[in-house]
Amino acid sequence: MTTERPSSTEYDPNAQVHLGVFQTGVGPQLIWADPSSAPHMAIETFVGVVQLLERGLFDAFFLGEGLRVRENRGRAYDLDVAGRPDAITQLSALAAVTERIGLVATQNTTYNFPADLARRLASLDLLSDGRAGWNIVTTDNAWTGANFRHGGWLEHERRYERAGQFVEAAKALWGSWDGGIDGVVAAAGDAKSWARPGSITPVERHTDLVELRATATLPASRQGRPVLFQAGDSDGGRDLAARHADVVFSANTEYDKALAYAQDVRARLARYGRSPDSLRILPGAGVVLGDTPAEAQERARWVRSEQMSGPRAVAFFEQYWGTDLSAYDPDGPLPDIEPSEAELDPSRGTLRIDQRNGKLATIARWRELAEQRNLSMRELALEVAPGHPPFVGTPAQIADEWAHYVRTRAVDGFNLLPHLIPSSLEDIVEKLVPALQERGVYRTEYTGTTLREHLALPPLDV
Amino acid sequence: MSDRAGLFLALDADGDGAHPAAWRFSGRPPAAVLGGRAVREVVATAEGAGFTLVTFADSPVPPSSGLEAAGRLEAGTRAAFVSTLTDRIGLAPTLHVTSTEPFHLATQLAGLDHASKGRAAWVVGAANSAAELATIGAQPLGADALRREITDVIDAARALWDSWEDDAVVKDVATGRYLDPDKVHHVDFAGAAFTITGPLITPRPPQGQVVVLAVDELDVADRADIVLVSGSDAAAVAAAATRARAAGAGMVFAEVEVVLDAAEPATSRLARLAEATPWPAAGRVRHVGSPAALVELLRRLADAVDGVRLHPAVLAVDLPVLAEHVLPALAAAGLHRGPRAGDTLRSTLGLPRPVNRFAAPATTNA
């Protein structure tokens, strides 16, 4: 049973849980060694997942992005699922075999051309008849940039400035057909011209961060433009979200942190003259279900131990030590050799930002912890590596918890990170969704057709 | 010239058709061209008729200033959209080397090949007008720089498609290794204007290498799998084909514009189209007349080329005639056979699956 917490001043008895699935496509959270794991690059796997989620009345399916194959000490990192399709290409393929679910592509603002990306997103939005979304990311490191024409061109401090100008230019292009498709295109073949003269306005931007002159080849879709998602807990990320985003991802799943985050972001919204309901907050979250609480806990332990195999534990510490540790037994103690002095390489793509600095102090802390509790390398990695699923329990337990989260306005829903495809999602659709529906916090049918409608976002100003 | 008798048939499925006034005669609202249904229908008809592949034209700028159609869905997304709705026809979007990131271009095409299970092709585009390059804040390239950019991007894409060996994903539960890092390679490509470290983020395409098509004018016969040649009549096409083969082309397709007799004779259809807007000659063979005469023309072209790419004036009118009369007649004459369900485009075309440049030579255990 949940109790009203004093820290939330709001209570909305009609609040709804909005759900998406964030398929990163790579990374340590995906279990591949289990026989039930579907081949992760096969188009059938994607079609199966997205149709499953549509049956589960999900708002959206997301694809992640990483523009360089992750490495460990200069070679492709070999222990995790790797290899992914181009997101907009894949979502266009999935648009054809779905009717309602939103399709969200993670796309970078540093290593794309604004008019080119805006056009590809607009195409997905029209092909899906108003179901496209764009998860805006600002990856700017030179290591990723080594795959692009202007690798490492952008100063790290200016990445959100570039992103803001990029998004603003994209919005201008999406809105540049005056009156939309019906306001521009002739109603029949006997018209004087295909387009009403003067109804399409070229967009020009000339700054040191965005330089373009382009005429949009596409009108707005039925939802007005792709729904904009933004992740980022940093100050710059929160600000970009408050200015431009329709949905914000966050890493804050723990209730008090989620609530504090929501209050901060809504205060920023007010500063930009936006209503509290114009931004949905969907933290990324792992879920492990069981028929009993004990079964769920047991299952969560299994998931974690699959995610942190012995070789992965060794590789995890290799990134911190900066040296080959393959001679060490993952079930033995931490290496007695000293780590290299060099700070962690920020560009390998396998480390979270908050773990990239002060590594010697971190290692000293871990040594102390391992000694105190007599932990092996693997046990320590299980303890300190990120990835603990925040929601472990029976469908009823989690449905109660989520109902409390949304009714007290701590979140608007979750972006689920599956650990095993497709079975972890099948469990959610078959067991958790009905439990949410019983509590009146989840739709029983789609009431709209566009992603914007699913998210219950206010209509765009035209 | 191929020793195989017959012709491969490509269809250019852009917009309402090749004629600039096609939108006036499509029998549907002009805006329909900007939705998924139009793409779905034209490709379904082409696949049902037995076409080998469809091409999707594109440009970073609108196809016209607005007097004619000014809207167009991006070609790569159109091709991807129909990949899950089809099972045999090749899908060939135009992607431009000058106005995109080569790494994204290679990834998009590899992804299309995975989604279509080996039916992706790439029509090399080289947009180079001031308006096209202004979309990325750049200036048009000079002739030499343009030529270098085209070859660099093709070479970079081909290297990236090889950057994962076919057996890179090992899923070895005993050692916990998902992939073999010795089989995922940096490409360290250095072009004149860009470098790419690699590898691609996408595993090797099912076809190994996506099929590359390029028009003759791009002068990349040695790098393309199929060169598209133009000539105003069959003799000119044959001469262009001979030149392309001498320059290294493996396969040659001829560009053919068609206006066919339908409910209304072709000549009067063309006159009505021309009354709305003239159709400038593009130096291509233009057939205006009966389906039977088109079959005869294609029969003659088959002596010089491996295939043709048809550009119907109005897709809504000419494509059904092609499907009902022209392709069946070619099939009956043994001049054309449609692809089979599940075949890759390479296998349909009789092109071998290329050996990966990074793969160690197979050791013979005699």
Residue type at position B307 = G
B203 contacts A312? CB cut-off 8 A: no
Candidates B114, B152, B175, partner chain A, best to mutate (most A CBs within 10 A):
B114
- Cβ distance B199 to A188 less than 8 Å, yes or no, reads no
pLDDT reported for residue A152: 78
Helix axes B102-115, A87-95, angle to 10 degrees: 30
Give, to the nearest 10 degrees, the angle between helix A114-127 and helix A87-95.
20
Stretch B233-260: mean pLDDT, rounded?
97
Chain A residues close to B73, C-beta within 8 Å = 123, 126-127, 217-218
A343: distance to nearest CA of chain B, Å?
A: 23
Q: Shortest Cα distance from B215 to chain A (angstroms)?
A: 23
CB proximity list for A354: less than 8 A, separation 6 or greater: none
Question: B42-100, pLDDT tens digit by residue?
Answer: 999 999 999 999 999 999 999 999 999 999 999 999 999 999 999 999 999 999 999 99
**pLDDT at residue B169, as a whole number:** 96
d(CA A453, CA A288): 29
Dump the DSSP string for B159-217.
HHHTSB-TT-EEEETTTTEEE-GGGB----EE-SS-EE----SSPPPTTSS-EEEEEGG
Residues of B in contact with A47 (CB under 8 A): 84
pLDDT given for residue A28 in this prediction:
81
Tell me which chain A residues have a C-beta less than 8 angstroms from the C-beta of B24. Answer: 189-190
Is pLDDT of B3 > 50? no
Q: Collect all residues of chain A within an 8 Å Cβ-Cβ radius of residue B196.
A: 146-148
Facing A84 at nearest CB: one of B67, B181, B202: B202
| B63: closest CA of chain A, how far (Å) | 8
B interface test, pick of A67, A78, A181 with most B CB neighbours within 10 Å:
A78
- What is the chain B residue with the closest CA to A215? B61
Considering only CB atoms, which chain A residues are within 8 Å of B199?
Answer: 69, 76
Interior/surface letters B303-323, b for 16+ CB within 10 angstroms, e for the rest: ebbbbbbbbbbbbbbbbebbb
Residue of A nearest to B168 (CA): A78
Subunit contact B104:A97, Cβ cutoff 8 A: no
pTM of the model: 0.95
Nearest to B179 among A76, A216, A218 (CB): A76
Compute the distance between CA of residue A224 and CA of residue A195 in angstroms, rounded to an integer: 19
Q: Which residues of A touch B131 (CB under 8 A)?
A: 213, 215
Determine, for residues A86 and B103 on separate chains, whether the beta-carbon distance falls below 8 Å.
no
Q: What is the pLDDT of residue A140?
A: 83
Q: How many angstroms separate the CA of residue A273 from the nearest CA in chain B?
A: 32
Which residue of chain A is at minimal alpha-carbon distance from B73? A123
**Cross-chain residue pair B196–A190, CB shorter than 8 Å:** no
pLDDT of residue A231: 85
Instruction: Tell me the count of A-B CB pairs closer than 8 A.
Output: 240
SS3 B229: strand
Nearest CA in chain A to B112: A89
Which candidate in A147, A212, A312 is best for mutational testing of the B interface (most B CBs within 10 A)? A147
pLDDT tens digits in sequence order for chain A, 462 residues long: 444 444 677 899 999 999 999 988 788 888 999 999 999 999 999 999 999 999 999 999 999 989 999 988 788 999 999 999 999 999 999 999 999 999 999 999 999 999 999 999 999 999 999 999 999 999 888 889 999 998 878 888 899 999 999 999 999 999 999 999 999 999 999 999 999 999 999 999 999 999 999 999 999 999 999 999 998 778 888 988 999 899 998 888 999 999 999 999 999 999 999 998 899 999 999 999 999 999 999 999 999 988 898 988 998 888 888 888 989 999 999 998 888 877 666 545 544 444 556 788 889 999 999 999 999 999 999 988 877 788 999 999 999 999 999 999 999 999 999 999 999 999 999 999 999 999 999 999 999 999 999 999 998 865
Per-residue pLDDT, A435: 98
Q: Which of B81, B175, B358 to mutate to test the interface with A (most CBs of A within 10 A)?
A: B81
Which tokens belong to A381? 């990695």
Looking at residue A74, its pLDDT comes to 84
Separation in Å, CA of A336 to nearest CA in chain B:
24
Q: What pLDDT is recorded for position A322?
A: 83
Q: Give which of B36, B128, B125, B131 is closest to B85, Cα–Cα.
A: B36
Q: What confidence score (pLDDT) does residue B1 get?
A: 40
- End-to-end CA distance of chain B: give it in Å, rounded: 36
Of A69, A193, A216, which has the smallest distance from its Cβ to B66's Cβ?
A193
From residue B311, alpha-carbon distances to B11, B234, B254, B256 in Å are 6, 16, 11, 6
- Predicted local confidence at residue B299, as pLDDT: 95
Q: How far apart are CA A48 and CA A51, in angstroms?
A: 5
Token output for B67: 């007097």
Say if the Cβ atoms of B134 and A119 lie within 8 Å.
no
Rg (CA), chain B: 21
Single out the residue of A436, A414, A454 nearest to residue A98, CA to CA: A454
Are B179 and A78 an interchain contact pair (Cβ–Cβ within 8 Å)? yes
Closest in A89, A190, A219 to B111, CB measured: A89
Residues of A in contact with B63 (CB under 8 A): 217
The contacts of residue A107 (CB under 8 Å, 6+ apart) are: A65, A87, A88, A117, A121, A134, A135, A136, A137
Query: Radius of gyration (Cα) for chain A, nearest Å?
Result: 23
Whether residue A194 contacts residue B69, with contact meaning beta carbons closer than 8 Å, is answered with: yes
pLDDT at residue A6, rounded to an integer: 41
Give the Å distances, CA to CA, from A165 to A107, A168, A206, A273. 15, 5, 10, 19
pLDDT at A300: 94
Which of B61, B172, B182, B201 is the best substitution to test chain A (most A C-beta atoms within 10 A)?
B201
Contact between B201 and A83 using a beta-carbon 8 Å cutoff: yes
